[in-house]
Amino acid sequence: MAGELSPIDKAKFVAAKRAADMVEDGMRVGLGTGSTAAWLVRCLGEMVREDGLKIKGVPTSTRTAELAREVGIEVISLDEARWLDITIDGADEFDGDLNLIKGGGGALLQEKIVATASDQMVVIADVGKEVETLGAFPLPVEVIPFGWQTTKALIEETLISMDVLGRQTSLRMNGEVPFMTDEGNHIIDLHLSRIGNARQLAMVLNQMPGVVENGLFIDICDVVVVGYGDGRVELRDINAGTIEEDRLDFVEEDNLFTDLMD
């Protein structure tokens, strides 16, 4: 129940709830991956069941697809949709220019493809994800399994000339074996502490053989919906240069708070 949620979960919920109100009947909607995006999928599912909202969802991961189907959202592929009206997703970090680090859940490739195939990308996040400078959260880089150690070494060598504070890298693991993305790739996490020039770093990383994509989302996000633990919400529109403030009340009996999987 809402009253039993932690302040962070309350913040995630109100951000998701506010973003769900941006979805209109007939839209093709990109559905993000992660704990905050899961709240969004639940909210949209309730609107489909209770209000008759008719949308088509394009998930950014297999687990999001499973949750969307579970709550009653029609799921289609990006190839079927071709173009989306809106994508709503979480972020691991965002700065004042709405540049992001994403990929903590391992779905950065599909997330970036879906986000860039949308008229609008909306990020939902608790206020703790806001940073002055990107980089405290490890930057995920998706690489093909073939020669991944060589790719990792090339990344480390390149970081020497980049404006970053740290240069440690690590292969993401899933227990005793390397983590595998939905596309069968590995992820190398870059522990940079601070990224001085995110745009340059993103371009350089993607020029390396073996690198599929990186978790820097530059000039992709249009709006960020920031949630607070007391129910306050801020909607920041980078294009309009506006900030809207709102407050959402919690509903104790809301079934969104049962059996939510992160």
Q: Residues within the annotated binding site for substrate? A: 33-36, 89-92, 102-105, 129
β-strand partners of 74: 56
Q: For the chain, how many helices (H) and strands (E)?
A: 7, 17
β-strand partners of 217: 100
Estimate the share of the chain in helix, then strand, then coil, as percent rounded to the nearest 5. 30, 25, 40
Cβ–Cβ under 8 Å, residues 44 and 73: yes
- What amino acid occupies position 93? E
Residue ranges for the known binding site are: 33-36, 89-92, 102-105, 129
The verdict on whether 111 is a catalytic residue reads yes
Given 46, 93, 111, 142, the catalytic residue: 111
Residues 59, 260, 21, 48: is their CA dihedral positive or negative?
positive
Listed in sequence order, the residues at least 6 apart from 177 whose beta carbon sits closer than 8 Å to its beta carbon are: none
What are the catalytic residues? Answer: 111
